[in-house]
Amino acid sequence: MSEKITIEPVTRIAGHGKISIFLDDRQQVEDAKFHVTEYRGFEKFCEGRPLAKMAGVIGHVCGICPVSHILSTAKAIEKIQGITIPDPAKKLRRLLNLAQIIQSHSLSFFYLCSPDLLLGWDTPPENRNLFNVIKSDHRDLAVGGIKLRQLGQEITELVAGRKVNPPGIIPGGIKSPLSRENRDKIGDRIPESLNYAQKTLDTFKSLLDSHSKEVNIFGNFPSLFMGLLGEDDTWEHYEGKIRVIDTQGNIIVDSFSEDNYQDFIGETVEPGTYLKFPYYKPQGYPEGNYRVGPLARLNLCEKIGTPRADRELLEYRDRAGTRYVTSSFYFHYARLIEIVACLEKIQKLLEDPEIISENTRIKVAKGKIDRLNAVGVSEAPRGILFHDYQTDAESKVKKLNLLIATGQNVLSMNKTIAQIAREYIDGPEIPETILNRIEAGIRIFDPCLGCSTHAMGQMPLHVRLCDRNGKIVKEIWRD
Amino acid sequence: MSVKTLTINGELISARAGDTILQAAKDNGIYIPTLCHLEGLSDIGACRMCMVEVEGINKLLSACVTEVAEGMVVATNTEKLKEYRRMNMELIFAEGNHTCAVCVANSNCELQDTAVAVGMEHTRFSYRFPDRGVDLSHPQFGIDRNRCILCTRCVRVCDEIEGAHVWDIANRGEEAEIVSGLNQPWGEVDACTACGKCVNACPTGAISYKGSSVAVMQRDRGRIPFLAAAREKQQWTR
């Protein structure tokens, strides 16, 4: 047991990573890569475990978005067992996923990213944190962010029994119904939360003008976008069709079944990182780079389906000057709009009398198996999430493949930090404040390394400058 | 019925001749932690949780298999016992794969409760992470040997109450494990009557109803003592 106490994450991302920047002969940035160098092996140690228990196991892959993981797994198990869950259970699951998107987006924007945006890139590192945002003129905004995250967590607890790794989501539905009292408790907090979210959105919009450089260089490039879509191409997060579009909005593939995801998504590995690199298979690697998450979801959908969020969506596209936004800096903006959307959608769900129905689960015959493999899909806060299960006849897990949003965005993250590095780095001397901008290029994707690589251990972010031959020219550590 | 008088923790108590120290303590409201003991089954003193100190005897004795004697002076809760029980519990945890967070029995588990009762907060020994199998071949039940503490309650309940004797312990030492039907997959054991007594007897998440998810396993803990009493005293209602 180590006696050293380390407070992490120091670098304001959910996990630990490092960045390598490669210089060419003229000492100019040639490429940049984001590495995660630790491994957890979640997929491997699930092999041989009883399938029925996986809903209780899988949430532990991530403390930030366990709900989406449990949903994807529960959906896969339900397919394997050949069961359909009752409608009220579906609604409660939607409520849970929306709540999780709120809390995860709040964590990303307020806790991890807002110090850069509100206090400035060049603020001394020791002051770039939420506490100093609270001390600044933006106190109300920071407090609102904390309350939004709290709301998301509390909804999870009220509906599914616990804030983190909620045990209430089970194959067959939701363990226990939502009480009238708890429904009202949630409902009472929505108007105040909408105000917080709206105020933050307004502040962010006012910041956009002074961040036009960031908009241009923080991961601004064409790519494909992938995500779930509801009926009439509405914003969706629980079930729907999977669509891939390009930067012009051309539909590359539509309504592919998640069970056939391997026909469309390939995965490859690169040296130096435990992240896998998914890519759109028909276009090959690395050309088939696609982005997932808030930016992709807002590019894919025609509308969100709630009044306030739809208004914001129009303004978002207007400000970007394009229907299909390519700048990854807009991830922040998209996240804030999604918070508003989730709050409105929760409000709508709570008005539905079925949300407090007692009919929230169906009992599954013991050991029932309809098929031996299935893929469950949902939209996690960071993007579309696939869980691919293969079982044996006794319903033990034979193979598990988790296709995580952060992994799917990693090619874009590399491109983003390369773009930022090229802009700011000239030769092997890295100005101190540039480090933060490069890190921020990673932060806009809100990567969650815990589930995408199963990272563990303690590894602060560090930047490495390498020459053509891979020789390290300079290293800067942030610990 | 002859009566023996003894002292437990400085308190003078009387017990029936032939009673164990555990029984006598229980009758007098004195708590001694147990794991392998289950009311209605024979006792084997396997888990060593119920160790007590008896004056004049140099070693620690298992309360579940030591009969009371006239004038016996017993201590159940000394510092030495507390330390030994805690260490014993730590060894049990380090030996198997007792991952409460993903276990069916979480919050309905005798191992967990006893660990809390003896004040175990962590284990000072390194976990061994043995690679043990899961058998889901039975249509109704499953056994996850990772959670097994070899208490043999399943072995005894199947043999003594159900009379089917499906379970045994195979191998020795660290490789010892519970097997069904002389080491066949549980689902292929003809002797199994699918009565579910082993499920109710299991103190941990090792034997569970198939399809149960994490922390949902509820057991009928009173069922085995009831069956034993029913048979013995011909009381067939609960």
Q: Collect all residues with Cβ–Cβ distance below 8 Å to B102 and sequence separation of at least 6.
A: A53, A56, A57, A60, B214
Domain count, chain B: 2
Chain B residues within 8 A of A171 when measuring between CB atoms: 213
Residues B35 and B116 in one domain: no
| Residue B55 falls inside a structural domain | yes
Asked if residue B94 is part of any domain, the answer here is no
Query: pLDDT value at position A287?
Result: 93
In a shared domain, residues B60 and B139:
no
- Same domain, yes or no: B65 and B107: no
Of B104, B133, B139, the CB nearest to A366: B139
| Residue A457: pLDDT band with limits 50, 70, 90 | very low
Best probe of the A interface among B97, B99, B102, by most A CBs < 10 A, is B102
Q: Is the domain of B73 the same as that of B111?
A: no
> Is B83 a member of any domain?
no
Q: What's the pLDDT band for A5 if we cut at 50, 70, 90?
A: very low
A458 confidence band (pLDDT: 50, 70, 90): very low
Residue B129 resides in a domain: yes
- CA–CA min distance B67, chain A (Å): 43
Q: What is the pLDDT of residue A28?
A: 82
Please indicate, yes or no, if residue B228 is contained in any of the structural domains.
yes
Give yes or no: residues B33 and B125 share one domain.
no
Which range of residues forms the domain containing residue B64?
3-77
Domain boundary among B77, B107, B137: B77
Question: Does residue A454 register a pLDDT over 60?
Answer: no
Does residue B73 share a domain with residue B110? no
Residue A101 scores a pLDDT above 60: yes
With cut-offs at 50, 70 and 90, classify the pLDDT of residue A2: very low
Contact B211 A364 (CB under 8 A): yes
Residue to substitute from A42, A45, A53, A398, interface B, most B β-carbons within 10 A:
A53
CA-based nearest residue in chain A for residue B145 = A49
In a domain, B82, yes or no: no
CATH, residue B135: 3.30.70.20
One domain for residues B50 and B165? no
Whole-number pLDDT of residue A1: 29
Of residues B19 and A8, more confidence is placed in B19
Alpha carbons within 13 A on the beta-carbon side of B168: 12
Q: How far apart are CA B64 and CA B72, in angstroms?
A: 15
**Position with higher pLDDT, A56 vs B72:** B72
Residues lower than pLDDT 70 in chain B: 1, 214-216
Residues B215 and B116 occupy one common structural domain: yes
Nearest to A70 by CA among A454, A395, A385, A406: A385
User: pLDDT digit string (tens) for B25-78?
Assistant: 999 999 999 999 999 999 999 999 999 999 999 999 999 999 999 999 999 999
Partner-chain contact A366 B140, CB within 8 Å: yes
Q: Are B138 and B49 in a shared domain?
A: no
A134, A111 contact by CB (below 8 A): no
Confidence of residue A8 (pLDDT cuts 50, 70, 90): very low
Q: Is residue B86 part of a domain?
A: no
State whether B149 and B67 are in the same domain.
no
| Residue B156 forms part of a structural domain | yes
Least confident of A250-259, A435-444, B177-186: A435-444
B59 and B154 inside one domain = no
At A450 the pLDDT is 60
Instruction: Report pLDDT for A14.
Output: 60
- State the pLDDT at residue B107: 85
Domain final residue, candidates B12, B44, B77: B77
Interface contact flag, B210 A52, Cβ < 8 Å: yes
CATH number assigned to the domain comprising residue B66: 3.10.20.740
**Which ranges of A292-409 does DSSP label H, i.e. alpha helix?**
294-300, 307-320, 330-351, 405-408
Lowest mean pLDDT among A92-101, A442-451, B39-48: A442-451
> Same structural domain for residues B67 and B125?
no
Residue A4 reports pLDDT greater than 70: no
User: Do the chains contact at B212 and A60, CB–CB below 8 Å?
Assistant: no
| Helix (H/G/I), strand (E/B), else coil: B189 | coil
Beta-carbon separation of B101 and A165 below 8 A? yes
Q: According to the model, what pLDDT value does residue A402 have?
A: 92
- Token readout for A238 is 């629980």
* Inter-chain CB proximity A170 and B213 less than 8 Å: yes
Closest partner CB to A52 (pick from B135, B140, B212): B212
Nearest residue in A to B122, CA atom:
A1
Out of A57, A167, A367, closest to residue B136 by CB: A367
